[in-house]
């Protein structure tokens, strides 16, 4: 176990994510071919050139066990892109990203739920998405049943659930695994007061047991509570990397209130 702990890491080596947004004309193979045949001068403007977006600009970063990172930045600063890159969803277009260890990304807990399938079927579906085997998805069922207090509803299709019930189930499934690396986009509050306390406790356990934790949030309280290091992201660059209070202050004075 200690061997594995030591191996868990995320390394970004001048990782750049630079992608093109196409206008409608740029998405057409026909106009692409046509443009070549007519020489490209007359049609160049009409068919639309791609706009290039640099969402991550040569970021170098090393995360090792014990790192609990709070990611702050304005909208469009590249937070979601960085989170997806850290989860292995986005591959860098230049540079390198190495991820060692099992990684779970909770950017949208409801993702992959099937409204027509029953609660139990959804446990199986989401469980497999999270990397469990069929036997393992059956093993987590009692735990989820107890935690969600859904009772007989677990055998009914999801579309009969209230939104609170649906969120409870999604939350319970997402938090029953113990990944080495946990990535979250905003910590989600769940349901009524009594359940909220229970959910907070479960989430804290999960964050505590994970070796590397990264959360993007606009809520300073959440970052103070869960993190020991802050990254401030600005236009695809890491503008600050260090202590929590210093990072939040840096963001407030230099970035949020600037411009």
In contact, 103 and 119? CB cutoff 8 Å: no
In contact, 82 and 56? CB cutoff 8 Å: yes
Q: Reduced to 3 states, what is the DSSP secondary structure of residue 246?
A: helix
Q: Are strands 229-234 and 212-216 parallel, antiparallel or unpaired?
A: unpaired
Stretch that binds other proteins, among 58-66, 85-93, 201-209, 245-253 (CB under 8 A): 85-93
Contact pattern for other proteins over residues 15 through 54, marking x by CB under 8 A: --x-xx------xxxx-x----------------------
For residue 142, what are its two tokens?
């009692």
CB half-sphere exposure, 93, CA atoms < 13 A: 12
Give the residue, chosen from 105, 148, 175, 217, that forms a contact with other proteins under the rule CB under 8 A. 105
Nearer to other proteins, 102 or 237 (CB): 102
φ, ψ for residue 255, nearest 5 deg: -115, -50
CA dihedral 37→43→48→54, nearest 10 degrees, is 70
Give the residue, chosen from 108, 219, 245, 246, that forms a contact with other proteins under the rule CB under 8 A. 108
CA 259 to chain centre: 28
Nearer to other proteins, 8 or 232 (CB): 8
Nearer to other proteins, 103 or 182 (CB): 103
φ, ψ for residue 196, nearest 5 deg: -55, -45
Give the residue, chosen from 65, 112, 120, 256, that forms a contact with other proteins under the rule CB under 8 A. 112
At its nearest, how many Å lie between other proteins and the CB of residue 134?
Answer: 7
CB-count exposure of residue 147 (10 Å: 0-12, 13-18, 19+): buried
Nearer to other proteins, 44 or 111 (CB): 111
Stretch that binds other proteins, among 13-21, 58-66, 167-175, 232-240 (CB under 8 A): 13-21
Q: Does 107 bind other proteins (CB under 8 A)?
A: yes
Which residues in this chain contact other proteins in the complex, by CB under 8 A?
Answer: 17, 19-20, 27-30, 32, 84, 87-93, 103, 105, 107-108, 111-112, 114, 116-117, 121, 124-125, 128-129, 133-134
């Amino acid at each position: 176990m200690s061997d594995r702990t030591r191996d868990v890491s995320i390394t970004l080596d001048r990782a750049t994510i630079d992608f093109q947004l196409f206008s409608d004309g740029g998405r057409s193979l026909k106009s692409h071919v046509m443009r070549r045949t007519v020489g490209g001068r007359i049609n160049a403007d009409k068919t639309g050139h791609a706009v290039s977006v640099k969402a991550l600009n040569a970021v170098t970063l090393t995360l090792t066990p014990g790192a609990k990172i709070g990611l702050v930045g304005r909208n469009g600063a590249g937070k979601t892109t960085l989170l997806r890159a850290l989860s292995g969803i986005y591959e860098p277009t230049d540079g390198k990203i190495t991820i060692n260890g099992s990684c779970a990304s909770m950017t949208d807990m409801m993702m992959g739920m099937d409204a027509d399938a029953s609660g139990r079927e959804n446990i199986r579906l989401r469980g497999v998405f999270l990397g469990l085997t069929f036997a393992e998805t059956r093993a987590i069922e009692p735990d989820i049943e107890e935690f969600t207090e859904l009772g007989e509803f677990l055998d009914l299709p999801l579309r009969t659930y209230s939104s609170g019930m649906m969120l409870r189930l999604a939350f319970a499934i997402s938090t029953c695994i113990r990944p080495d690396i946990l990535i979250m986009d905003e910590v989600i509050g769940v349901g009524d007061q009594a359940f909220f306390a229970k959910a907070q406790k479960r989430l804290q356990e999960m964050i505590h047991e994970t070796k590397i934790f990264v959360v993007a949030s606009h809520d300073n309280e959440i970052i103070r509570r869960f993190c020991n290091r802050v990254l401030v992201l600005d236009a695809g660059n890491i503008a600050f990397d260090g202590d929590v209070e210093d990072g939040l202050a840096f963001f407030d004075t230099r970035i949020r209130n600037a411009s």
